[in-house]
Structures are given as C-alpha cells and as structure tokens.
Structure 1
Amino acid sequence: MTNSRAPIAAVVFDMDGVLTDTETIWDDVRRGLAAADGIPWPEGATEAMMGMSTPEWSDYLATTVGVRGTPPEVAERTIEEMAARYRQHLPTLPGAVEAVQRLSARWPLAVASSSPRRLIDATLDTLGITANFRTSVSTQEVAAGKPAPDGYLRACELLGVEPGRAVAIEDSSNGLRSAAAAGLKVVAVPHEAFPPAQDALAGAAVVVGGLDEVTVELVEGLADA
C-alpha cells in the first residue's frame, strides 16, 4: 500500500483550461462546425466533450451532434481550425509559465491532455516550456479519455512514479474525475467559464483561485492529503 506520507515525487498538468485559456476556443470551433452544417447545438454537449479523447469527441460530434463527415473527418476539420486559431493567438492563463518553471525546479513534470499530440507539442513550444516537462500524454494515445484514469496513469508510468505520490493540476469536471480515479492528489483550478461540478470538486485535495497559488509549499503539503 502506498504510504500517504511519502513525499510528492512528480506533478502532472492538464493543459487546456489550466495552462492555456483554450476551452472557449474548442467550444467556439466545435459550435462553428455545427452551425456551418446547419445543426443546432445540443444542450450539455460542451460539458460532455470536456476531457474526451480525439476519437471520443469526434465520434460525439459526428453521431450525437450530427456534424457532417466521419469521426476522423470531423476530427481533422476541428484540429485544423484549432491550429489556425493558435497561430493567430494562444491565450495563456495568468501565472501558467511561472507555475511550470517554479514546480519544474523541484519535481519532474508531465502533461496529461485531451488535446491531440500536435496541439500539445505546438502549445508547449509556443509557451517556451517544452524543456520543463519530462514527458506528455495525449488521451488519443491511451485507451480512454477523461474521466477515465488512463491518461494520468500513463503519465505516472512514464515518469516512473506511483500515482499516489503525484499531484495533478486540473480544471474541468472530467479532468478532476480522471486524476482522482487514477489516485493522484488533485489541485483544482476551476475555470470561470466552465465551472466544474461539485462532485468532481469533492475529489480534489485543494481548490485554488489561480496558478499563482500553486506553490512548492502547497504541493509539498499534499503529501499528507
């Protein structure tokens, strides 16, 4: 059994909604595809897709929302538009780069993101923080996206640490559920535009108002959480 008092050995960041303020861009792009195809946006679709892997959300857009094309075609349309938006402007959340730099000086870091690999790599490169991360995982590279624990479990495997000795930094309901299900100690950084559900927040060890609050001392203190 994992010793709950063992020191923290690694930190795993979500990306969209934690490092970059891109959740609203994903939503805008997906809604735009539906609108272009004359499809009304179903209630709850935005929240349902948060954390899904690329195969999962593209299937949802094609079959549940009704966007034109096969899931791979829908995925390609979406990712191409996302990449174009990123080239125009990649909004970064306050304190994101500083938090990464601060924590990487103390622990090995990973990213566990629902974004496809090319957007993960482009984001980290644009922010100038690629070298701060030991590894990264896209949920399209594992069996199931968030809220399943697969992405976080794979990140911990690549880092060589037990999940119970790692800390996840998450914002969305499905992301929080994923990290908690994997056994990581979870820091919730709720996004104002898409506040997480109360049951998802309940699985967090601590809830903060922004990344400036995610200090080395706060993370170290989670060893006893």
Structure 2
Amino acid sequence: MPPTDRFLEIRRDLHSGELLARGGDSEAHSMLQRAGFVAVVRVHETYHRAPADLATDDESRLATDAVARLRAVGYHVDCDEGFDTDSRPASFLPLGASVAHLADRIREAATTDEVAGTLTELTAAHDGVLAALDEVLDATADFYNGLGKAADPYVAQRLRYLSDEHLHAIRTDLSYIRNQLADRHAPHPGRSTCAAEVPPTEQERSAVCACPPPPRTLPAPPPMAAGLRR
C-alpha cells in the first residue's frame, strides 16, 4: 500500500461549502499551490482552500485541474464526483528543482573548488540565483505600490527591507564563503576518491591500496537483563 502521505482528499466541506484539499506531502502541497490553492497552516495540520471570492465554476475548474495534476504523478486523490477526471497532464520540473540540484552537486563534491563553482551559481553578481531573487522582490514591491489599498505601500516597504537587509546579508556571507573555498584548492578529507593504486615508493608490491583502513566499529554490548542489575 502506498504511504499515507500519497493520499489526498479534494472536496467541498459539507457544512461550510468551502472547497478544501487535505492530505499529501510537501510535494503535493506545492502542486496544490501551483494549481491555485491557498495553504492554511494550523498547529496540527496544513490544508489548502480555494482563493477567496472565486465563482463556483472557477472553483470546480481549479479542483479538477488539481486532481488531474496529482494523479498524473501517482497520488491517490479522493474527490467529489464533479471534480473527477481522466485527464493526466504532462508534468515538468519546477524552476526550484534546478536550484535544488545545486545541493546535490555540493553533496557529491570532493574538493573545495567544486563547491566554490556551485556556490557561484548562487552568488554571481549579475545573473546568480540570489541576484534574480533580489529582482523578484523589487518587482513585487513595485507592483504593490500601485495596487491602491492603504496597506499596500507598507507591504512594498517590507519587501524592500527583506531585499536590502536579509537577502543582502545572505548574499554577502555566502559570497565570502564561496571566495574562501575558491582560495583553498583542497580535497575534502572525508570525500576523497580511492583509486586503489599503489604509490611507486611502496616496497610491498602485493599491496593493493595505500589508503588507511576504515576505523573499526566495535559492536554494541548486549543490554543487561533487569534481574542482573544491582
């Protein structure tokens, strides 16, 4: 049976009539958000609702689209009859997946140069990921400034504060770390690759590897029986 976090429900609440989606893991939550749902974070659960003031037909289309997307990648979705669909749209890797791939490269890196090269994709001054994020925050702030509600300029100000203070600190620190690693030119002692080669100075030619043996792990002692304790 699939894990429980592969199951979801998308239904109208019997009492309130709200369109709600419940269940699923973080990947499913991302898909619900891309379909148009809004996350509601509670103490004991996170569920999703339709955006406010949507027409009933628009809510039905939103729910049907979410059911199709989730089933297309293997989720088990129970839903109201009106949301059921045989459609299975093609799925594509989201933009965040290419950034997350940088973490995979760092996990596999064996030298400081490799990690420095990967961090450059984040810290590059003109077209790094963090520079692009800075542009997104500024563009969103500009958008809020023209929306017309009394609180909108304050939201825009908050976005610029996040860019100027928090994001700037991340960019500065990470750039410093990247430059430090770029200057070290050192292998990671815990990630060196063994080529199983014998160095030319080795007198014992029957040796197959010059690497030190792995540390010996002693077996854990058996638990003491309760009746033997004093």
Scaled by the length of structure 1, what TM-score is found?
Answer: 0.22
Higher relative contact order (CA 8 A, sep 6+): 1
Scaled by the length of structure 2, what TM-score is found?
Answer: 0.22
Radius of gyration: which is bigger?
2
